[in-house]
A = this chain, B = another copy of it.
Amino acid sequence: MTQQAKSTRSINVTEILREQLLQGEFPPNTRLQETALAERMQVSRTPIRESLRVLAKDGLLDYAPNRGYSVRPFSLDDIVAAFRVRSVLEGLGCRLIAERGMSDNLKQSLLKTLNQGEELLQSGQLERGEYDEWREMNKDFHLAILMETENDLLVRFAKASRNIPIVFNGSFKWYTLRAFQRAQDHHQAIYSAMLNQQPDRADFMMQEHVMHAADILKQNLEGAE
């Protein structure tokens, strides 16, 4: 029997709202009124208020005293800027691992994701349903490296830097087969660099990898915004 992680209304509301914000369900600058949200969520204002404050701290909402909360608008530049930050954070993660060498546990985890990636590419073209699989694989790869650093702040910031609408789940819908292949190559190079204890290379390739994703996003959003 899986242990039901105990929770509170406040936490639940926070996560539901966060998901909706990341999915872009609220137009930018939409005002979020406490009573309206409370009714919608079927709870009182108290947990709503705590949620809003947290989401504002996460940068998803703007807040002004006595004026309430509104959906923070993200420009394309904001999004690219966030990628740049994430790139150095995850780059640092790879560097730290490369310096000290990978644990057997990490090797195993990463090899698994590399194999998953290969399999997904085998078919020649990724189907709709396989996007989710790729996304999971990708998340596992990046998170495994970060966790291994045991640098709490690094993990927190790297995770937080993904909390941005449009981006939150990696917009793989823009990806061509070629782009998927390149991402897979990056993963392999990063793995190789860490295996051979090449910190500079590991760091650099991870930055390259992350900024490549930013480039694709940028190309597909340019002008449209």
Contacts and interface: CB of A to CB of B under 8 A. Distances in A.
B157 A157 contact: yes
B153 A82 contact: yes
Contact of A81 (B7, B46, B91, B154): B154
Contacts of A11: 65
Contacts of A49: 50
A3 interface: no
B152 A81 contact: yes
A51 B221 CA distance: 38
Contacts of A58: 57
Query: Which label, helix, strand, loop or mixed, suits the secondary structure of the A interface?
Result: helix
Contacts of A6: 65-66
Nearest to A164: B153
A220 B150 CA distance: 23
Contact of A153 (B65, B85, B150): B85
Given A49-B50, A88-B88, A78 B8 contact: no
A115 interface: no
A179 interface: no
A91 to B, nearest CB: 7
A177 B93 CA distance: 34
B156 A65 contact: no
A151 interface: yes
- Which of A66, A91, A152 has the largest count of B CB atoms less than 10 A from its CB? A152
A84 interface: yes
Contacts of A153: 59, 78, 81-82, 85, 161
Nearest to A46: B46
8 contacts: A11-B65, A54-B54, A54-B57, A59-B153, A59-B156, A81-B151, A81-B153, A89-B89
Interface of A: 6-8, 11, 46, 49-50, 53-54, 57-59, 65-66, 78, 81-82, 84-85, 88-89, 91-92, 96, 150-154, 156-157, 160-161
User: Which 8 A-B residue pairings sit nearest by Cβ, starting from the closest?
Assistant: A81-B151, A88-B92, A57-B57, A88-B88, A85-B153, A82-B153, A8-B65, A85-B154
